[in-house]
Amino acid sequence: MDSLKEITGWVSNVKVLGRIAFIEVIDELNLSPVTVVVRRENDSSIWGLASKMKLGAAVKIRGTEPRQIISKKGRELHAEDINILGEPLEIFPIDVTGKTPASSDDYINYRYLALRLPRIRAIFIARSLLLQETRNFLLSRGFLEVNTPKIVKAGAEGGATLFVVDYFGEKAYLAQSPQLYKQMLMCGVPKVFEIGPFFRAEKFSTTRHLNEGWGLDVEMGFINSMNDILSLLEELIIHLNKKLIDTLGDRLKGLGFNVIEEVKRIPRITYEEAMNILNSNGFQLRWGEDFDPKAEKFLGEYFQANGTPAYFIVEYPWETKPFYIMRKELGKSHSFDLDIRGIEVASGGQREHRYDELYRNLVDKGLDPSDFKFYLDAFKYGMPPHGGFGLGLDRLIMVFLGLQNIREAVLFPRDRFRLVP
């Protein structure tokens, strides 16, 4: 006996072939439509609705699921009742059947419509999965999820990349990261993480930068060395990578995504070793220089050829790192970056937990310690050795799915030219 079922969704295609109408409906969070079959010999009112169904209409349809499915798309429903809940009032600005591609700007401008398209929808289903699995992973390891202020008195990284806010007549800033607050929490909680927005007033117009992004921030107390942080992040990336492949891999590949292969290990090289690799291949980098996108791309291809798309670069020059990073001998630091497919997705390291050394770091970076008193005070009361990292979730989704532009991974991106929708 056929089973009765009710679906709700949007009409993504309509075909009337003689006495049979085929209505494709994208429902729930599915990546393929259900084909609704209506025969003319059925109730005349149902046939009338089906044969004149408008593309893009919001519908509720009740019917039976046949034991033998004809549709090549895998799901089928034979309609017994059709209820049209909403019809389009204008011509669609993008093709909701997906047959005619739109520009990347139009897919953002009309994101709410683009989400009816399986390929666009898949990106945000993958994003949701990765966020959920990130929480599951860290909660299972004893981390406390926290929420820190996004309007702050001092920036974690200082400089000209701060958005200024008029806070009742006092100058404040949008938070660049939860860095200072998550470190302060190490005085009372051993492990914390936060998933939230960050704001950077950088005038970039690249495929990998946004002015509002979403990140994962993690901090661990009572560490033995930076290796504890590296090991945790490596486990997290391997876990997320495997979950994505196991859960959505085949469907994502079927939709044309260049899904990352399985990550089984993340090798570690020093900044100096990375610089030597680059300079032996035609680059001319000097100690202390940052790696530009061309250099990062080369390293990504180098490691890909050696069997892994992901790699750590450790021991950056301290002069290039923020004040809270612990110094190492010979001008180096206890710091690292994580690059995947030639794109930096995370950075972190061991923090300076000793009050006097942290104070000196602030002065050496040209910062006024009095601006950071609220932060420094937390280091007077038994602050343990600690470290952590910040990971750009938008970039992670970008590299995991092989997207060409970070804006594809964000529902309503904010860059220097885009404030709406």
Residue 41 has pLDDT above 80, yes or no: no
Residue 1 has pLDDT above 60, yes or no: no
> H or E element: which one contains 269?
strand 268-270
What is 3-86's CATH topology?
Answer: OB fold (Dihydrolipoamide Acetyltransferase, E2P) (2.40.50)
| pLDDT mean over 297-326 | 96
CA distances from 349 to 73, 155, 310, 327, 329 (A): 49, 18, 17, 10, 15
| Residue of 154, 153, 173 lying closest to 162 (CA atoms) | 173
CA atoms within 13 A on the CB side of 69: 12
List alpha helices for 255-308, DSSP H. 271-279, 293-305
What angle in degrees, to the nearest 10, is found between the helix axes of 293-305 and 271-279?
90
How far is 235 from 395, CA to CA, in rounded Å?
18
Beta bridge partners of 20: 17, 39
What is 118-148+185-409's CATH topology?
Answer: BirA Bifunctional Protein; domain 2 (3.30.930)
| pLDDT mean over 140-146 | 98
Residue 4 has pLDDT above 90, yes or no: no
Instruction: Determine the distance from the C-alpha atom of residue 231 to the mean position of all C-alpha atoms in its chain, rounded to a whole number.
Output: 21
How far is 338 from 346, CA to CA, in rounded Å?
5
Q: How confident is the model at residue 3 (pLDDT cuts 50, 70, 90)?
A: confident
Q: Where along the chain do its domains lie?
A: 3-86, 118-148+185-409
Q: Which DSSP letter does residue 43 get?
A: -
pTM comes to: 0.94
What is the reported pLDDT for 251?
96
Read off the pLDDT of residues 234-275 as tens digits, 9 standing for 90 and up.
Answer: 999 999 999 999 999 999 999 999 999 999 999 999 999 999
| pLDDT mean over 155-159 | 64
| pLDDT mean over 100-115 | 97
Residue 196 contacts residue 181 (beta carbons within 8 Å):
no
In terms of pLDDT, which residue wins out, 250 or 158?
250
Residue 96 has pLDDT above 60, yes or no: yes
Give 213's contacts (C-beta < 8 A, 6+ positions apart). Answer: 197, 198, 200, 392, 393, 394, 410
What is the reported pLDDT for 44?
76
Read off the pLDDT of residues 325-354 as tens digits, 9 standing for 90 and up.
Answer: 999 999 999 999 999 999 999 999 999 999
